[in-house]
Amino acid sequence: MLSLALPSAMALDALKLSMSMPNGAEAAPTAVADPVVAGSAASPNKVEDDLPTIPFVDLTIPPDDLWQRVRNGFSMQNLSGPLVTQRQAWYLNNPDSLKRTLERSRRYLFHIVTELEKRGMPTEIALLPFVESSFNPLAYSPARALGMWQFIPSTGKTYNLQQNWWLDQRRDIVASTSAALDYLQYIYEMHGDWHLALASYNWGEGAVGRAVEKNQRLGLPTDYASLKMPQETRYYVPALQALKNIIAEPQ
């Protein structure tokens, strides 16, 4: 008995094509699937294996380098000018002083940066104790300002920092940091400008408000650089900007 093998689907398609062609014409060769492109039983993942591996980076996890976290959170508008240049030159010409302050900050900076990130505040503020107290929680000024954030007694009481014979929370790192950030948020919302908020922290929000109103009456700009203010306050924000420049590009 003669056994006939059934033709494959590919052979049937070729036969139909040859029957439909005019006499003398040749059918085009049947396309054969490329096993590399289509995949084969021997190597079904050939193309995927050849692709480079893209590392997964979770941007919601803070980097291990604390200073990089500080840089990532910089969001204040930059200030430029001769006062910034002068303060930056002073810090760079006094590397021993800068190094001592940086070493002292290691005890407190992680907590401050973490609190700023929780509140969504600019991390430039983490550098403010450089300017205020050189990160010395026992610093005391002639104006009776005390602690790392240099609270005067009245402002400390306003922000619930206890002050009595046995305890002064202006020296307390956790309590004073919370109070300082509360105060800075308040004066930022008052002025809508971080440079004016910082000037208010140094000079007082009432004094800055009056200086702004005076410039408005005179038709003058009301930004930080345009206000008339005491020399200490005039250098205050440029000093912070100079530190920001150094931290941003330590090399």
Find, among 146, 74, 148, the residue nearest to 111 by Cα: 148
Sorted by sequence, the CB contacts under 8 Å of residue 101 that are 6+ apart come out as 130, 134, 135
Other Cβ atoms less than 10 A from the Cβ of 112: the count is 24
How far apart are the C-alpha atoms of 180 and 173, rounded to whole Å? 10
Query: Does the annotation mark 232 as catalytic?
Result: no
Measured between alpha carbons, how far is 250 from 188 in angstroms, rounded to an integer?
A: 29
Catalytic residue among 26, 117, 124, 132: 132
* Main-chain dihedrals φ then ψ at residue 167, nearest 5 degrees: -145, 135
Residue 29 CA to residue 108 CA, distance in Å, equals 77
Structure tokens at 89: 């030159």
Summary count for the chain: helices (H), strands (E): 13, 0
Read off the tokens for 117: 């990130």
Active site residues: 132
